[in-house]
Amino acid sequence: MKKWLVLTVSSAIVFSLAACSSDNSARSKSAGGSIAASTGTEKTEIQYWSYARGMADYLTSLVETYNKTNKDNIKVELKFFTENFAQSLDVAFSSSQSPDIYQVNDFTQEQKKGYPLALNDFMKDDFKKRFEPELTEGINMQEGKVYTLPNFGLTQRLIYNVELFEKAGIKGPPKTLNELAEDAKKITAVGKVEGAYGFAVNMKNSDTGLGRSANVITSASGFPKTGYDFKTGKYDFSGHKEAIQAFRQMRQDGSMIPGVESLDIDPLRAQFAEGKIGMYFSNSSEPNVYKSQFPAKIRWAAAPPPTYTGNYDGVVNISLAGTWLAISKDSKHKEQAWKFYEWLAQQDNIKAYQEKGYGISLLPSVLSIVKQPDVKGFEYFTPTQYDAILPPTPSLTVDGKKYNDEFAKYIIDGGDLDKTIADLNNRYNAALEKGIKSGDITMKADPNFDIKKLQGKIYDK
């Protein structure tokens, strides 16, 4: 039955991709895209895939500008995905329907599968020099080959409803994990009669939902975000225990909005904008979301994530840091895809990401000239010394459920968390040992690693 379901889902995606391709072709030709009616010059059409729905308006305008102004007879078709991006990418590559250029979702896995094309031969020295300060082995490079360029990152924050805080008599955002749970309970007590709850997390995809919430708290508190301890070179998920227990507590006492196990990020945002959620965790894309996608009907603010003790013994990881776009290794239009990539990478276009409030630049050449975005709420996401890029972790093939899936199951259904953590440690370390023996994993323990030393490396206030 499981195999049949997987086959059905994959077949549906293949059908969808084929339909999309056919539809794009039809639209393109009807608009004079594949054949330029005025000149009779054939245009090369390239596909660009993104999951950045919060940037939809901006990316669409960029593509439209490029299509109107480029002199290379290139037409770019932009497609957005709201979910299942990784699965759609897998199916596209396996069925020879991969996009020509796509937004990197998981660099380690995509590079391991052979999806991206090395960009070294395309980049001129002066072009590469602009990005070199943030080119990092394991993040956007592998064995000296550059597969994706650094551009911007997303800072992580706790987003909260100021009006519900005031109604519950809470003076400010929580600074500790215990305060988070207590505040969620207070908000639910005063808001539940109107359908408002204290806390929400989008656990339809546990990696995304917990990755931007519980895992962020864990990292800020000084423990390995993904379980991998760089100091010992082993996996240890015990540092996640307090965060996962707190989330379970909010689930049990009714402070967490019902249905989180099937909740995706956009429906969560829609309910927050309507005043039905007191707090949730997300990133610096939210100000634009509440400006255009889901206009907020309430007063909201954001604050640094709480920690176990109230002190920052670790760092708040910058998500999507160091990766941006990749050209498909299977693209039939690599030169044209690079021309578009090179155009997008112009200083003015990159600078606009931050100035329009879509992300925080990582490039010194941009940070020195960029203006503060005029987007309400973006000021809460301004980087601090506690925002940092975490080093890459080993790429594993683990038997059984992944750690965030196990934690999500515990939050929803309960169980023995200590037993779950012990099982995760055993399975992840077994997979790590197997990868080391096969030569697929070359990472070694760093006895001098100290997560606190990452503080202030990029944005030192």
Among residues 308, 341, 361, the one where a domain terminates is 361
Average pLDDT over residues 261-266: 94
Do 129 and 77 fall into the same domain? yes
- Sequence length of the chain is 461
Do 230 and 126 fall into the same domain? no
- The per-residue pLDDT for 27 is 36
- The per-residue pLDDT for 56 is 87
Q: 312 and 386 in contact (C-beta within 8 Å)?
A: yes
Q: What total of structural domains would you count in the chain?
A: 2
Q: What is the DSSP string of 98-128?
A: --SEEE-S-HHHHHHTT-BPP-TTT--HHHH
Do 212 and 94 fall into the same domain? no
Do 337 and 420 fall into the same domain? no
- Model confidence over 106-126: pLDDT tens digits? 898 899 899 999 999 999 999
The rounded Cα 138 to chain-centroid distance in angstroms is 17
CA distances to 228, 235, 416, 433, 434 from 425, rounded to whole Å, are 10, 6, 14, 12, 14
- Model confidence over 55-67: pLDDT tens digits? 888 899 999 999 9
Of the listed ranges 63-72, 326-335, 354-363, 373-382, the least confidently predicted one is 354-363
Rounded to whole angstroms, the Cα distance separating 404 from 410 reads 10
User: In the chain, pLDDT over 90 holds for what percent of residues?
Assistant: 69
- The per-residue pLDDT for 33 is 37
Q: What is the DSSP string of 172-196?
A: S--SBHHHHHHHHHHHHHHHGGGT-
Q: Single out the residue of 132, 133, 130, 101 nearest to residue 115, CA to CA.
A: 101
Do 286 and 342 fall into the same domain? no
Q: Single out the residue of 120, 159, 172, 377 nearest to residue 272, CA to CA.
A: 159
26 domain residue, yes or no: no
Q: 444 and 231 in contact (C-beta within 8 Å)?
A: no
Res. 24: pLDDT tops 80: no
Query: Could you identify the residue written with the tokens 């515990």?
Result: 410
Do 139 and 261 fall into the same domain? no
- The per-residue pLDDT for 12 is 43
Res. 40: pLDDT tops 80: no
User: In the chain, pLDDT over 70 holds for what percent of residues?
Assistant: 90
Res. 78: pLDDT tops 60: yes
Write out the residue range of the structural domain in which residue 144 sits.
31-149+323-361
Res. 446: pLDDT tops 80: yes
Letter for the amino acid at 161? N
Res. 14: pLDDT tops 50: no
Q: How confident is the model at residue 358 (pLDDT cuts 50, 70, 90)?
A: confident
Rounded to whole angstroms, the Cα distance separating 183 from 18 reads 49
Q: 273 and 295 in contact (C-beta within 8 Å)?
A: yes
Res. 250: pLDDT tops 90: yes
Do 182 and 145 fall into the same domain? no
Rounded to whole angstroms, the Cα distance separating 416 from 407 reads 11
22 domain residue, yes or no: no
Cα four-point dihedral sign 225, 205, 395, 151: negative
Res. 233: pLDDT tops 90: yes
Q: Which CATH number belongs to the domain containing residue 47 in this structure? A: 3.40.190.10
- The per-residue pLDDT for 52 is 85
Average pLDDT over the chain, rounded to whole?
89
370 domain residue, yes or no: no
Do 247 and 301 fall into the same domain? yes
375 domain residue, yes or no: no
